[in-house]
Amino acid sequence: MTETPQKVPLPKITVPKALGFWMCTALVVGNMIGSGVFMLPASLAPYGWNAVFGWLVTIAGGVCLAFVFAGLARAFPKAGGPYAYTQEAFGPLVGFMVAWSYWISLWVGNAAIATGAVSYLSVLVPAIAKVPGLHLAVTLGAVWIMVAINIAGARLAGGVQVVTTVLKLLPLIAVAGLAFWVIGHDHGASLTPFHAADIHPGGITAAATLTLWALLGLESATVPAGKVVDPVRTIPRATLVGTIFTGLIYLLVCSAVVLLMPTDSLKASNAPLADFVGLHWGGNAGKVLALFAAISAFGALNGWVLLQGEMPYAMAKGGVFPAFLGKETSRGTPARAHLVSAGFLTAIVLMNYAKSMADLFTFIALVATTASLFAYLACALAALKLQATRRIAPTLALTVIAIAAGLYAVWTLVGAGGQAVLLGVGLLAIGVPFYWLTRRRVPAASE
């Protein structure tokens, strides 16, 4: 009797986890320090000292949110970040809505980051701003180069992130040093005078809404958790360290430029930090800073492109996005999810390229911030719900800070204004029928 040969199972190919503490911290810092600190002084120019108080509120709120994400990451070190946490707390529908809004904020925000990068590049290559269509072509070219890097592998993307994070700190240190020199040289005469009567809640709220754009990304290390070494320890540490460090850099650099430059010229600037340096050290120094600013923004774009691919991948693995988006390449990267996200990003750039670079940046930044705020509010509520149901060991610190983070998210949503909030709600509403359609037709991707 012939024995039937047994099938030998093929060994499962596993991709080594590529992101350690320093790469995760670079992802957090690099995603926050992107085009925001280099472009926001122009948007904040009308608010003067209100912008300084807006930064203080934003940093406090950002640290609260970072603490919430750190607590959630310790308990649920899953890929997907906000999506994973809210699904654990409230079920698949709420998890989907949060992920949908967060995913939208990713590719919408990447349009603003790419615009900011090319805006600074136009200081070095003036034709970008003058030749019709060239700004569009360079912006889309930068987007797709970053998509290609991320499809090539998480380790390559992480390496690019570390290098660009180091490079982007150099111009910020230079701007901070110049600001201290200017203030010391004229004993503060160049500073915008402080008048208590000019400080008002409306101005602080509006400024805080804009400044939150610069802190978006504090949750970055939570999204690619499946590619992180020792995620239970690495993600919380990287999240808190990165958020606090970046907030202090922003407060110092951005406030100095707003208070030391004439408001009218700052409002019209496509490259405010370069103009600030050029004003005191000459045009060549401004061009050098513009180069580093462009590198900084491109580095942030690299990190955010990583997330805009990881998010729909995690949603597909959870069964709430089409299953084909949950497939990885042999390098362990979700190439299909990257291509779909990049397609939406390309569409929003094409729809808005007729705006000036500064106007496009401000508008898209507000929409992306609003979309992110829905996710941040839901995560704060998830932390409270998971503690109440004992899914997370309840602590007084996490409870109080989660309440503060939730109130901060609501307050900032109010400050975003009706147009941005309505657009954000509209984008959320589009997701509801998509959720039910996907749940009916698409099974969860296999693990």
State yes or no: pLDDT of 356 exceeds 60: no
State yes or no: pLDDT of 313 exceeds 80: yes
Q: Lowest-confidence range among 114-123, 176-185, 295-304, 362-371?
A: 362-371
Instruction: Specify the pLDDT at position 161.
Output: 65
Compute the distance between CA of residue 97 and CA of residue 430 in angstroms, rounded to an integer: 10
State yes or no: pLDDT of 358 exceeds 70: no
Helix (H, G, I), strand (E, B) or coil at 200: coil
Instruction: Specify the pLDDT at position 392.
Output: 87
CATH architecture of 21-191+199-441: Up-down Bundle (1.20)
Domain map (residue ranges) of the chain:
21-191+199-441
In the predicted model, what is the mean pLDDT of residues 112-124?
Answer: 78
* Backbone angles phi and psi of 229, in degrees to 5: -75, 130
Highest mean pLDDT among 2-6, 188-192, 424-428: 188-192
State yes or no: pLDDT of 92 exceeds 70: yes
In the predicted model, what is the mean pLDDT of residues 210-237?
Answer: 76
Q: Lowest-confidence range among 67-76, 143-152, 414-423?
A: 414-423
Q: How confident is the model at residue 10 (pLDDT cuts 50, 70, 90)?
A: very low
And the tokens for 16? Answer: 């080594």
Instruction: Specify the pLDDT at position 366.
Output: 67
Q: Are the CB atoms for 219 and 27 separated by under 8 Å?
A: no
In the predicted model, what is the mean pLDDT of residues 235-240?
Answer: 84
Q: Are the CB atoms for 224 and 19 separated by under 8 Å?
A: yes
State yes or no: pLDDT of 404 exceeds 80: yes
State yes or no: pLDDT of 445 exceeds 70: no
Q: How confident is the model at residue 180 (pLDDT cuts 50, 70, 90)?
A: confident
And the tokens for 128? Answer: 């970008």
In the predicted model, what is the mean pLDDT of residues 43-61?
Answer: 88
- Burial of residue 132 (CB within 10 Å: 0-12, 13-18, 19+) is exposed
State yes or no: pLDDT of 409 exceeds 70: yes
Residues 102, 104, 105: CA angle, nearest 5 degrees: 65
Of 399 and 11, the structure prediction assigns the larger pLDDT to 399
Q: How confident is the model at residue 26 (pLDDT cuts 50, 70, 90)?
A: confident
State yes or no: pLDDT of 71 exceeds 80: yes
Instruction: Specify the pLDDT at position 364.
Output: 63
State yes or no: pLDDT of 382 exceeds 80: yes
In the predicted model, what is the mean pLDDT of residues 71-79?
Answer: 80
In the predicted model, what is the mean pLDDT of residues 154-163?
Answer: 66
And the tokens for 284? Answer: 């060549």
Q: Lowest-confidence range among 127-141, 208-222, 297-311, 351-365?
A: 351-365
State yes or no: pLDDT of 47 exceeds 70: yes
Helix (H, G, I), strand (E, B) or coil at 295: helix
Q: How confident is the model at residue 9 (pLDDT cuts 50, 70, 90)?
A: very low
In the predicted model, what is the mean pLDDT of residues 384-403?
Answer: 91
State yes or no: pLDDT of 357 exceeds 70: no
pLDDT in tens, 249-264: 888 888 888 888 888 7
Instruction: Specify the pLDDT at position 381.
Output: 94
In the predicted model, what is the mean pLDDT of residues 388-396?
Answer: 89
State yes or no: pLDDT of 8 exceeds 50: no
State yes or no: pLDDT of 354 exceeds 70: no
Q: How confident is the model at residue 5 (pLDDT cuts 50, 70, 90)?
A: very low
Residue with tokens 């000459």: 282
Instruction: Specify the pLDDT at position 156.
Output: 66
Instruction: Specify the pLDDT at position 7.
Output: 40
CA distances from 61 to 69, 244, 289, 396 (A): 12, 11, 30, 18
Q: How confident is the model at residue 3 (pLDDT cuts 50, 70, 90)?
A: very low
State yes or no: pLDDT of 446 exceeds 50: no
Q: What is the mean pLDDT of the chain?
A: 78
In the predicted model, what is the mean pLDDT of residues 3-26?
Answer: 54
Compute the distance between CA of residue 353 and CA of residue 55 in angstroms, rounded to an integer: 29
Compute the distance between CA of residue 310 and CA of residue 101 in angstroms, rounded to an integer: 14
State yes or no: pLDDT of 23 exceeds 80: no
Q: How confident is the model at residue 384 (pLDDT cuts 50, 70, 90)?
A: very high
DSSP H or E run through 33:
none
